[in-house]
Structure 1
Amino acid sequence: MELELAEVNSHGLIEALWDRHTVALYNQHGSFSHSSSSYQAAYDSYYRRQWDTLAGNGDGAHVAMGTPRELDDYVRHLYKMTSMTRREIFDDLERKWGGGSTEEALKNTLKLALSLLFMLKFGLAAGQTEPSRGCLLWTEGSLEGCIREYFDQEPKLETRGVRLPRSFDAWSIQSIAGIEIHFTDNLIDHLKFIEDAESKKILVFHHVSFLECHQSSVFPGGFLDETLRTLAIIFPESEFGSYGCFKSCRTPWLRKLCNKDSACEVDSRLGSCETLRGAERGIENFRFWRDRLVILKQEYDEATPRTLTQFWNDRRNRVV
Structure 2
Amino acid sequence: MDSALLDALIQPTRTTLATEFWGKYENPSFNNFGINLVHFWEYYHSACRQALHDGGRHTAVRSHNDVVDVIRMLKSGVVRGEVRTVLRSKLSRKHDNEDEMLENAIDLAASLILMCDFGITSLSFSGRTELKWRHGTLQEFLADYFKDPPALSHEGMKLEKTFLARNLTRIGGIEIIWTENLVDHLRLSDDDTKVHIFHHASFLEYQMHSTESLLPDGLAAETLQTLALLCPSKDRETSRWLSRLPSLDKRLGHCGRLKTELRQIERFRFWRDRLIMLKQAYDETQPKTLTQWWHDRRNGVQWYTFWVAVLVLVPTILFGLIQSVEGALQVYASFKSLED
TM-score (norm 1): 0.82
Q: Give the aligned residue type for 1:52.
A: R
Q: Give the aligned residue type for 1:55.
A: L
Q: In the TM superposition, what is the alpha-carbon distance from 1:73 to its structure 2 partner? A: 2.7
Q: Which has the higher contact order (CA 8 A, sep 6+)?
A: 1
Where do 5+ consecutive residues of structure 2 fail to align? 305-340
SS class of match (1:5): coil
Q: Give the aligned residue type for 1:204.
A: I
Report the RMSD for the aligned CA atoms in angstroms. 2.6
Contact 1:233 1:281 (C-alpha < 8 Å) held by counterparts: yes
Contact 2:20 2:68 (C-alpha < 8 Å) held by counterparts: no
Q: Does 1:253 align with 2:238?
A: no
Deviation by residue 1:216-254 (Cα, 9 ceiling, x = unmatched): 453332111111111111111122xxxxxxxx3321211
Distance 1:292 1:188 in 2: 11
Match of 1:304 in 2: 286
Q: Does 1:98 align with 2:94?
A: no
Residue pairs, 1:47-58, within 5 angstroms: 47-57=44-54
Counterpart of 1:190 (choices 180, 185, 191) is 185
Match of 2:39 in 1: 42
Counterpart of 2:224 (choices 220, 225, 228) is 228
Distance 1:273 1:2 in 2: 32
Could you say which structure has the higher helix fraction?
2
Q: In the TM superposition, what is the alpha-carbon distance from 1:173 to its structure 2 partner? A: 0.9
The number of residue pairs the alignment matches comes to 292
More deviation, 9-18/308-317: 9-18
Distance 2:26 2:213 in 1: 17
Deviation by residue 1:43-74 (Cα, 9 ceiling, x = unmatched): 0100110011002458x64432332x323432
Counterpart of 2:112 (choices 111, 116, 123) is 116
Contact 2:229 2:263 (C-alpha < 8 Å) held by counterparts: yes
Counterpart of 1:267 (choices 243, 249, 258) is 249
Q: In the TM superposition, what is the alpha-carbon distance from 1:140 to its structure 2 partner? A: 2.0
Structure possessing the higher radius of gyration over alpha carbons: 2
Relative to structure 1, the CA distance from residue 75 to residue 275 in structure 2 (aligned partners, 3 Å threshold; closer, same or farther) is farther
Residue pairs, 1:117-266, within 5 angstroms: 117-125=113-121, 127-130=123-126, 132-196=127-191, 200-214=193-207, 215=210, 216=212, 218-239=214-235, 248-256=236-244, 258-259=245-246, 265-266=247-248
TM-score (norm 2): 0.77
Distance 1:21 1:221 in 2: 15
Contact 2:80 2:134 (C-alpha < 8 Å) held by counterparts: yes
Distance 1:128 1:211 in 2: 28
Distance 1:114 1:191 in 2: 21
Relative to structure 1, the CA distance from residue 2 to residue 213 in structure 2 (aligned partners, 3 Å threshold; closer, same or farther) is closer
